[in-house]
Amino acid sequence: LFCASGRSFGRTALRTTKEELVGFLKSWARYPLFAKPIAGIGSFGAYLIRACSGDNLILHGGETIAIDDFLAKLDSKQGYLFQTLLAPHPALQQFGNIASTVRVAVIFDRGAPQILHTVWKIPAGENFADNFWRPNNLLASIDPSTGSVVRVVRGYGPKLEELTHH
């Protein structure tokens, strides 16, 4: 976790200076890493860092960038979260090698939690994030009582397409 503002996140080690972050990237990080703005939304400003080689980072897609140039791209005021990239469960690897997420929206109705809706965000193609706006990613509606997928779509607006087969 890198943050110039002094925020903390439990007992997670903070890197609050450029030197500390460079040391982390060169010596301590477990690659590949997913990096995203702490206050971000929709994976805007996110990076997938495949490896570190000397003073360079190798990004998703094979691009090599100097660590100093990479750090200059980050918004140090809001901070960045660096996470070791998780692999999907073997049963889900048929859909790709990037982990997907299930989001469950819960509301409190008369003091009791109720599931409002459940969706599965599935990354597709060369995408390293599962956000729905990324081309070809899929969004599946899940029946929360059975865990069954009931509808899958891709695209949005007039380009929304319902899929029956993957």
Mean pLDDT of 139-143: 95
The residues, any chain, with a CB within 8 Å of residue 4's CB and separated by 6 or more, are: 16, 76, 77, 79
- Mean pLDDT along residues 5-12: 61
According to the model, what pLDDT value does residue 25 have? 93
Strand order in the sheet with 161-163: 101-109, 112-122, 138-142, 149-154, 161-163
CA distance 74 to 38: 11
In the numeric block, the tokens 């140090």 are attached to 76
C-alpha distances out from residue 84 to 52, 104, 151, 152, 155, Å: 13, 23, 31, 28, 29
pLDDT band of 1, cuts 50, 70, 90: very low
If you average pLDDT over every residue of the chain, what do you get? Answer: 86
Model pLDDT for residues 56-93, shown as the tens digit of each residue: 999 998 999 999 999 888 866 678 888 888 888 888 88
> Distance of CA 146 to CAs 54, 96, 124, Å?
49, 24, 25
